[in-house]
């Protein structure tokens, strides 16, 4: 009952956003939330959290002003692709780019696939209004990117897997291949889509899909264990976040290099994530190594952070790396 009330409230927040944006003539699409719920047999059953929306970068400031006029306060945190506005219990994440788009030529290709997302949006009707959702193609691509991004960082929960399961099950084999096979191969996400679909069949009872191929039980079970170890089931621990630095910021030529090389690449990734301007001034990297290491040490002494166990972090990171590499994910984000 509590979950149903929460879902109803968040749906109304989506509809309120739609009303504001249409009055201001700002194109948008919903990310996750109601965009995922429309693929469920009963949309109200899809667990809702905050409201994630996408506007163009040129409309970001204007959309923010509308929220501020309605009592929302911007959350003073730096994010790579969105701005957060809060007025408890409502929480809007206003994106100018979907989460998880990699750098380089792959990122450029993905952005080219998404450039018409507003023009191809679908108006989904509700009793008290409509909500603009991405097309099937755009939604599927965003869903995979979002799931991949979270998997490589703190991990995904069962909701992420269920979102993909009901989405993939809504297409015939022919429909799915016609829409997704070529672009997902091009950006390196086809194997990941296959594995998620195989897991959905093995663990959630979803129908067999020929395009997903023969199930690799060992890989599917390893991925499912990783999902249960993270997300809303397992350890959203600080150690898991640091494990991600071991593989998500590695270059191809240091995968099997000595420990110091892996450590420095991880530290560089940490510096880049907090100081993007370091890319233009390499002298800032050594300064960042010292600053963030000392900052973490001070927080440990104050009891604000748990003491990390480097050996366990690296051991778990190696296991995770092997799973994600088998899914074809690591090439997506290597520098």
- pLDDT, tens digit, for every residue of 75-102? 866 677 889 999 988 999 999 999 989 8
Is the domain of 253 the same as that of 161?
A: no
The pLDDT tens digits for 261-295 are 656 666 776 777 677 777 788 788 888 878 877 88
- How far apart (Å, rounded) are the C-alpha atoms in residues 247 and 265? 9
Question: Does a structural domain hold residue 138?
Answer: no
Question: Does a structural domain hold residue 110?
Answer: no
| Token duo for residue 187 | 């950006």
DSSP symbols for 132-189: EE--HHHHHHHHHHHHHHHHHTT---HHHHHHHHHHHHTS-HHHHIIIIIHHHHHHT-
Share above pLDDT 90 across residues of the chain, in percent, rounded to a whole number = 46
Is the domain of 169 the same as that of 55?
A: no
**Do 250 and 267 form a contact (C-beta atoms < 8 A)?**
no
Model-level pTM?
A: 0.81
Block residue for tokens 């009592």: 71
Question: Does a structural domain hold residue 112?
Answer: no
Question: Does a structural domain hold residue 109?
Answer: no
Tally of domains in the chain: 3
Question: Which domain CATH number covers 40?
Answer: 3.30.460.40
Residue ending a domain, among 197, 228, 259, is 228
Which domain covers residue 179, as residue numbers? 145-228
Omega before residue 190 within 30° of 0, cis: no
Q: What is the mean pLDDT of residues 33-39?
A: 93
Residue 154 in this model has a pLDDT that exceeds 70: yes
DSSP class of 39: T
Is the domain of 200 the same as that of 125?
A: no
Is the domain of 281 the same as that of 317?
A: yes
Q: What is the mean pLDDT of residues 235-240?
A: 56
């Amino acid at each position: 009952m509590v979950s149903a009330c929460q879902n109803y409230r968040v749906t109304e927040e989506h509809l309120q956003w739609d009303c504001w944006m249409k009055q201001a003539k700002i194109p948008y699409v919903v990310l996750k939330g109601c965009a995922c719920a429309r693929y469920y047999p009963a949309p109200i059953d899809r667990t809702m959290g905050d409201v994630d929306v996408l506007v163009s970068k040129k409309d970001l400031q204007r959309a923010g002003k509308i929220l501020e006029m309605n009592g929302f306060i911007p959350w003073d945190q730096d994010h790579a692709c969105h701005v957060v506005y809060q007025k408890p219990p409502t929480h809007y994440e206003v994106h100018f780019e979907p989460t998880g788009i990699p750098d380089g030529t792959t990122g450029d290709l993905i952005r080219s696939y998404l450039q018409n997302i507003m023009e191809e949006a679908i108006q989904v009707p509700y009793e008290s209004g409509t909500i603009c959702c991405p097309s099937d193609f755009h939604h599927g691509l965003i869903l995979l990117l979002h799931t991949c991004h979270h998997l490589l960082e703190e991990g995904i929960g069962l909701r992420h897997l269920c979102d993909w399961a009901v989405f993939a099950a809504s297409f015939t084999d022919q429909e799915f291949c016609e829409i997704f096979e070529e672009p997902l191969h091009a950006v390196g996400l086809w194997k990941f889509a296959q594995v998620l679909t195989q897991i959905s069949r093995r663990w959630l009872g979803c129908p067999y899909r020929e395009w997903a191929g023969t199930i690799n039980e060992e890989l599917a079970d390893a991925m499912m264990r990783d999902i249960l170890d993270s997300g809303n089931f397992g350890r959203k621990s600080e150690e898991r976040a640091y494990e991600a630095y071991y593989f998500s910021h590695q270059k191809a030529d240091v995968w099997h290099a000595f420990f110091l090389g892996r450590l420095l690449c991880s530290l560089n990734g940490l510096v880049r994530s907090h100081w993007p301007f370091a890319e233009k001034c390499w002298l800032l990297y050594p300064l960042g190594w010292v600053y963030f290491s000392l900052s973490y040490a001070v927080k440990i002494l104050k009891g604000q952070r748990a003491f990390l166990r480097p050996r366990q972090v690296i051991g778990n990171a190696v296991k995770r790396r092997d799973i994600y590499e088998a899914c074809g994910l690591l090439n997506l984000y290597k520098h």
